[in-house]
Amino acid sequence: MTLKALGAFLFETFKLVLVSLLIIVPIRYFVVQPFFVLGASMEPTFQNGDYLIIDEISYLTGSPKRGDVIVFHYPYNTKQFYIKRIVGLPGEILVLDDKGITVKNKENPEGFALSEEYLPVKEEYGNMTATLGSDEYFVMGDNRDASSDSRRWGALKREFIVGKVLVRAFPFQKMEAF
């Protein structure tokens, strides 16, 4: 290989790497984010060590919905990320008791029992009532007995939400979109 050919090869390689970085870096930092599940709080939906891709764009134009599994900054240590499911929306009142979760809102002032098909067995909820502000969400882990969530540290403000789970990418045999 001549010096001229080597120089052309290195220049083309540099251009390829530069273009790749210009595409990949903005996507990684502004569109999607990888996330490893740590702990058992979202079992059986997600297991410790699952590798997820988080959608950071959806909530820029829309609002989180009940049932969405989200990743957020823990309000008392924003360097920590948590993963939980949204069970209560802004402006709602949630009543947790032995029977489950009752949600009261403008559309249902008498309340309705929250249906949680994603839970394999009836979980313990504790006894409490939570009134959510206009930018607050009530979040819980699917493994209620092993979850530090809104029952312990209160409602989650919208500003802490990073995004929602888009895809479980690993383990491969459990890969799926959400």
Query: Active-site residue numbers?
Result: 41, 84
Rounded CA-CA distance 174/177 in Å is 10
DSSP 171: S
Helix (H) or strand (E) holding 12, with range, is: helix 3-30
> Nearest CA to 137 among 153, 115, 123?
153
Pull the structure tokens for residue 175: 């890969």
103, 91 Cβ separation under 8 angstroms: no
Pull the structure tokens for residue 159: 């500003």
**Amino acid identity, position 91:** G
Helix (H) or strand (E) holding 58, with range, is: helix 58-61
Angle at 61 between CA 36 and CA 57, to 5 degrees: 25
Token look-up 């819980």 returns 140
